[in-house]
Structure 1
Amino acid sequence: MPSIILNPKPSALQKPHLNLAVIGHVDNGKSTLTGRLLYETGYVDEKGFKEIEEMAKKMGKEDFAFAWILDRFKEERERGVTIEATHVGFETNKYFLTIIDLPGHRDFIKNMIVGTSQADAAMLVISARPGEFETAIGPQGQGREHLFLAKTMGVNQLIIAVNKMDVVNYDQKRYEQIKAELVKMLKLLGYDPNKVPIIPVSAVKGDNIKSKSSNMPWYNGPTLLEAFDSLEPPQRPVEKPLRLPIQDVFSITGAGTVVVGRVETGVIKPGDKVIVMPPAKVGDVRSLETHHMKLDEAKPGDNIGVNLRGIEKDDVKRGDVLGKVDNPPTVAEEIVARVIILWHPTAIGPGYAPVMHVHTATVPVQITELISKLDPRTGQTIEQKPQFIKQGDVAMVKLKPLKPVVVEKFSEFPALGRFALRDMGRTIAAGQIVEIKPAKVEIK
């Protein structure tokens, strides 16, 4: 079966590269919109798509054809395509965008946190259908939770696609009502609504994706692809020490161990002597690859496969971090962090043990001390050594990882210094690491 999604064109790899997290509540149309973007930008095989369309028509599910592009891709992926297949991308006039962590994972929030921690920008997909929009941004809504997480994980560039406008007959009133609600929520979360395009689209019909829709003459803002081109390229901290959180590890016949991840800081080249922490395994970089192309070096923002010599597949796992031997990533004995409690049914005190999601790592931690409670607006201390903290509080806390984990100070390595705490299937808190007491690690 030919691959449904075509590989990046050589022109794409010459363009500045951005990582885009696609977020939003289930059933608001994330997969359909992503499929439509790939189709509109020429990254979908026409013949393969025609087959999908026919199948969808037969089953009376024509509206699902674009979403099935991704489902078909995921099936291919699960059958073990290639290293880079975890990322799918498309090209605009200005950028090559990689979509992170295809929507629809069973454990979506966990993947969303890992994905968003690597994102330069996020696209929130929100449905205009009555009931769906209200659920998505309600107190329990994933649209609201994803937005909050995106902000906490340091994603400051945002585009909102108000999808399914065809379902509400392209009604301007409905769009204005949704926009007003979204502006309120953006302000609450600390986004500047004037910098967030809110675009009425139909993923199924293609309105306002590539070209202006004649169905919505009342809308005079950018199309979705134009909005992507107005994003700012992120800063690439090449001068900092190398940090590459590992997302996957493969053993490839004839090549040996290959780790996959995104370079967060620093530069990596073939021949470099590297170390993987926490296991403290040392090896050499045999070669680097991205989207089937060999690289002479990789810089921050690049999603790459690193072929390692001297390190076995079983020595490393997702969540470990690759660095240079002369400046190894920090393994934490103890962490001081600023947290905001997003949700908790009662109160949190010392001894509480949630799970920390930080870069690509997932590790149980224990809150060993509540240092102080802060004013959420000013950051000033309002109470020393509080007995407990609850939903809505901002606090300085001491955390002890219950398994070895690499973290860094947020001020030095933002991508390795922001995290979420989860428990009971919900995100309890989001935070930033202020100080670290390093663990003693013996280099093997």
Structure 2
Amino acid sequence: MGKEKTHINIVVIGHVDSGKSTTTGHLIYKCGGIDKRTIEKFEKEAAEMGKGSFKYAWVLDKLKAERERGITIDISLWKFETSKYYNVSVKDVRRGNVAGDSKNDPPMEAAGFTAQVIILNHPGQISAGYAPVLDCHTAHIACKFAELKEKIDRRSGKKLEDGPKFLKSGDAAIVDMVPGKPMCVESFSDYPPLGRFAVRDMRQTVAVGVIKAVDKKAAGAGKVTKSAQKAQKAK
């Protein structure tokens, strides 16, 4: 039932000891996210510690260290529901996740992407099928050089050769890449932190690059989204 409600993410920002936890706890209580009996319990416990005004803050702060020091370390309440809305706090976002607006260009798994790469230090030749580890934001995933589309001048970006058979140190190129595992990336022009990467192999960085366009899988369908199709046509 709750999942069918409008989903709202809430961020509360403020200086240290400005009342962020107290304000948020009070809001959750007023919205029905926690019952009166629990608030009365927190009020009693806070009064025993000489911190009666902290009862709403303790909706979020339940660790002993949090209550003694007046800081939030680990949010104990990370979601609540009202009659109309389903709310999720930052606690529901895990390390390594990519979060975004579900109704405005949400992050999706990449089926593949087109990138501009510069080969920095590789002892041999790089051909289609090469599958080193790609480091992009927090992801460390093997990605295959599926197609070497064109070799370009590394300074001007001017095309030098179509469909080169291989790349070597010092070369720059436009390539199609396919991740070996689920991965979320974006074009560098839209979201720079999610669109730049390093290519690692043999315990060293062999190339760096930026993503020009992404083929995205629609959630659960394995299809390329319309936005991704438009990006491909614009290449």
After TM superposition, is the score higher than 0.5?
yes
1:410 & 1:253 partners in 2: Cα distance?
33
Are 1:425 and 2:203 matched, yes or no?
Answer: yes
Structure 1 CA distance, aligned partners of 2:162 and 2:96? 34
Give the Cα separation in 2 of the matches to 1:339 and 1:317: 30
User: Does the Cα contact within 8 Å between 1:320 and 1:361 map onto a contact in 2?
Assistant: no
Partner amino acid for 1:376? R
Residue 253 of structure 1: how far off its partner (Å): 7.4
Q: Contact 2:151 / 2:164 at 8 angstroms: preserved in 1? A: yes
Letter in 2 for 1:319: G
Q: Does 1:340 align with 2:124?
A: no
Matches within 5 A, 1:156-235: none
Aligned twin of 2:91: 307
For residues 177-217 of structure 1, the C-alpha deviation after alignment (integer angstroms, 9 at most, x for no partner) is: xxxxxxxxxxxxxxxxxxxxxxxxxxxxxxxxxxxxxxxxx
C-alpha distance in structure 2 between counterparts of 1:284 and 1:442, whole Å: 23
Matched, 1:372 2:156: no
Match of residue 87, structure 2, among 284, 291, 295: 284
Partner of 1:38: none
Q: Is the 8 A contact 2:75 2:91 kept in 1?
A: no
Q: CA deviation at 1:323?
A: 1.0
Residues of 2 paired with 1:386 and 1:284: CA distance? 51
Q: Which of residues 301, 325, 342 is equivalent to 2:102?
A: 325
Q: State the secondary structure of the residue aligned to 1:432.
A: strand
Q: Distance in 1 between matches of 2:148 and 2:87?
A: 42
Taking the aligned partners of 1:357 and 1:409, their CA distance within structure 2 comes to 15
Q: Tell me the distance in 2 between the aligned counterparts of 1:393 and 1:436.
A: 23
Is the 2:108–2:219 Cα contact (8 Å) retained in structure 1? no
Unaligned runs of 5+ in 1: 1-9, 14-80, 83-250, 258-269, 272-282, 287-305, 309-315
Conserved 8 A contact 1:320-1:405: no
The number of residues matched between the two structures is 149
CA distance in 2 between counterparts of 1:317 and 1:307 reads: 7
- Tell me, which stretches of 5 or more residues in structure 2 are unaligned? 1-14, 19-64, 67-72, 222-235
Three-state SS of the structure 2 residue aligned to 1:347 is coil
Would you identify which runs of 4 or more consecutive aligned residues in structure 1 move more than 4 Å?
A: none
Where does residue 402 of structure 1 map in the other structure?
Answer: 180
Distance across 2 between alignment mates of 1:361 and 1:284: 27
Match of 1:92 in 2: none
- Aligned-pair distance for 1:256? 5.5
Secondary structure of the structure 2 residue equivalent to 1:409: coil
Shift of 1:252: 4.5
- Counterpart for residue 355 of structure 1: 133
The residue type paired with residue 335 of structure 1 is F
State the distance in 1 between where 2:75 and 2:215 align: 40
Identity %: 41
CA contact (8 A) 1:354 1:423 kept: yes
Higher radius of gyration, 1 or 2: 2
How far apart, CA to CA, are the structure 2 residues paired with 1:432 and 1:284?
Answer: 35
Q: How far is the alpha carbon of 1:254 from its aligned partner? A: 3.0
Q: Which amino acid aligns with 1:356?
A: L
Residue aligned with 1:415, SS: helix
Query: Partners of 1:398 and 1:347 in 2: how far apart?
Result: 17
Matches within 5 A, 1:108-127: none
**How far did residue 360 of structure 1 move?**
1.6
Q: Quickly say closer, same or farther: Cα 1:423–1:383, change in 2 above 3 A.
A: same
Aligned to 1:415: 193
Of 65, 76, 89, the match for 1:254: 76
State the Cα distance separating 1:285 from its structure 2 match.
2.8
Question: Which structure has more RCO (C-alpha within 8 Å, separation ≥ 6)?
Answer: 2
| 1:135-161 per-position Cα deviation (integer Å, ceiling 9, x unaligned) | xxxxxxxxxxxxxxxxxxxxxxxxxxx
Deviation (angstroms), 1:317: 5.2
Q: What is the TM-score when the length of structure 2 is the normalising length?
A: 0.57
CA deviation profile, 1:52-98 (whole Å, cap 9, x unmatched): xxxxxxxxxxxxxxxxxxxxxxxxxxxxx99xxxxxxxxxxxxxxxx
**Aligned partner of residue 193 in structure 2, secondary structure:** helix
Q: Deviations over 1:238-283 (max 9, x none)?
A: xxxxxxxxxxxxx9473459xxxxxxxxxxxx99xxxxxxxxxxx8
Deviation (angstroms), 1:342: 0.9
Measured at CA, do residues 324 and 253 of structure 1 come closer, stay the same or move farther in structure 2, by a change above 3 Å? Answer: closer
Q: Cα distance 1:322–1:253, how it changes in 2: closer, same or farther (>3 A)?
A: closer
TM-score by length of 1: 0.31
SS at match of 1:307: helix
Please report how far the alpha carbon of residue 410 of structure 1 lies from its aligned counterpart in structure 2 after TM superposition: 0.7
